[in-house]
Structure 1
């Protein structure tokens, strides 16, 4: 119990340092949010390279980060079609470069898509509307963080049957249930609190539930990737959490669900106008 207590304290301390910076950049938006996503993308790219190509981590990390950053910058300037083209082009270029260096081309190419897709969607979600975009971005963070934290606390407290022991032996069904319930509540609360356009509190809860499920899926997916590459953590960037990828793996999946929800609301609003 003392070990778990120290682990939780270390996690809390790391969150206390990193969360305010992320929240501030998200709140201010603009170039500050671009800087946040860009910096995160570079760190994630080098963590991915360390897992997938440990003997050429700098070279592959640089190639993957270039593909991610190019797509993110394109999205920031509002050219989403170019951003998606840059993702595909960056993935192909990273793959070809990796192969020329004797590394796995598919791993490098997948790294650009895996990290770049949610990064581009975060930029779109934040900048699609100055104020409402902020609210939707906060919704993503609130749901993903709530689901992640409550899943950890519920699983540590109640234990019970394992969720998917083959890929993630520490995940439990109690943690899974706690996580999705927390996500649903967070989605409903954020919708009641903020202006989310035509998104009602009920549908905010449904969206939160779906995004929480995506958060759990993202966590399991990364566990499977780490198992494939034979590593315990994606890195040691964040004390108590391992690598940054260990912290945002669920968020990367949740943003896709929330972006789809935002797109549906935009379509409804335009149809009603």
Structure 2
């Protein structure tokens, strides 16, 4: 299993870097939209309303098309992206509230038609946010920083949890996660933020705001991970899919990214950095 995970990552990471650094923004958005379509199909498969393979494929195609439409809309209307990212923020605040009332508040996500709209809220704002960030000056580096910020939250939580973990974070949802692990993830996010301050030459209010933003994104990264785990528990499945050897499904790999990226870009816009 570990070898499979390493080999899969060794193949995917160079592809991700190539797309981020060398693809024009439209092409990067198209590639990410295809990935989002795969994740959307898996989301539909978790849900009762998406039990049919035909429904899953139609839903994946709808998600792909809406990403491209949302990207084009963002190019022509300045208000569109902040509105879309604001909707994502409201959604993830709701998710935090829903997780506090697991499983009753989470159950409708996978057992009612509300889940159809929710799947789009997971994917569409994330990819449009990625495209917007990559299109900025030095945008590829900002986007790579954002991905590694999510990675820092995950890695910090893993190692801190293994070494110091004593108190469960969300026992019913994910028994392996601990509060000490969450703190470790947030500390590593803060450290990575300080590196970002130096790399991007930030100072004053922007530097302070950026560090706070990265810590907040670390929190939402954990929320995204917990949310997918909660939905999988309700659906009674271990992984969202099996498309990535050793990693499970596409949604399993981007569950934290879909929570973190829209809010990271929204925060950068508020700080005048994107």
Q: Distance in 1 between matches of 2:57 and 2:76?
A: 24
> How many Å apart are 1:107 and its aligned residue?
2.3
Larger relative contact order (C-alpha < 8 A, sep ≥ 6)? 2
Query: Contact 2:29–2:127 (CA<8 Å) still a contact in 1?
Result: no
Tell me: CA distance 1:206–1:67, structure 2 relative to 1, closer, same or farther (3 Å): same
2:227 counterpart (203, 207, 221)? 221
Task: Give TM-score, length-normalised by structure 1.
Answer: 0.78
Partner residue in 1 for 2:42: 47
Tell me: CA distance 1:34–1:179, structure 2 relative to 1, closer, same or farther (3 Å): same
Higher deviation after alignment, 51-60 or 252-261? 51-60
Query: Contact 1:183–1:208 (CA<8 Å) still a contact in 2?
Result: yes
2:247 counterpart (241, 246, 251)? 241
Partner residue in 1 for 2:260: 254
Whether 2:64 is the aligned partner of 1:65: answer no
Secondary structure of 2:51's aligned partner? helix
Partner residue in 1 for 2:160: 154
- Cα RMSD between the aligned structures? 2.8
> How many Å apart are 1:147 and its aligned residue?
1.0
> How many Å apart are 1:176 and its aligned residue?
0.8
Q: How many residues align?
A: 244
Query: Contact 2:30–2:68 (CA<8 Å) still a contact in 1?
Result: no
Q: Distance in 1 between matches of 2:71 and 2:29?
A: 7
Query: Contact 1:237–1:243 (CA<8 Å) still a contact in 2?
Result: yes
Partner residue in 1 for 2:127: 119
Partner residue in 2 for 1:177: 183
Query: Contact 2:168–2:177 (CA<8 Å) still a contact in 1?
Result: yes
Q: Distance in 2 between matches of 1:204 and 1:82?
A: 23
What are the residue-to-residue correspondences of 1:1-273 with 2, within 5 Å? Answer: 7=2, 9-30=3-24, 31-53=26-48, 56-77=51-72, 78-79=75-76, 104-127=112-135, 129=136, 131-194=137-200, 200-266=206-272
Secondary structure of 2:242's aligned partner? coil
Higher deviation after alignment, 69-78 or 234-243? 69-78
Higher deviation after alignment, 179-188 or 26-35? 26-35
Query: Contact 1:164–1:171 (CA<8 Å) still a contact in 2?
Result: yes
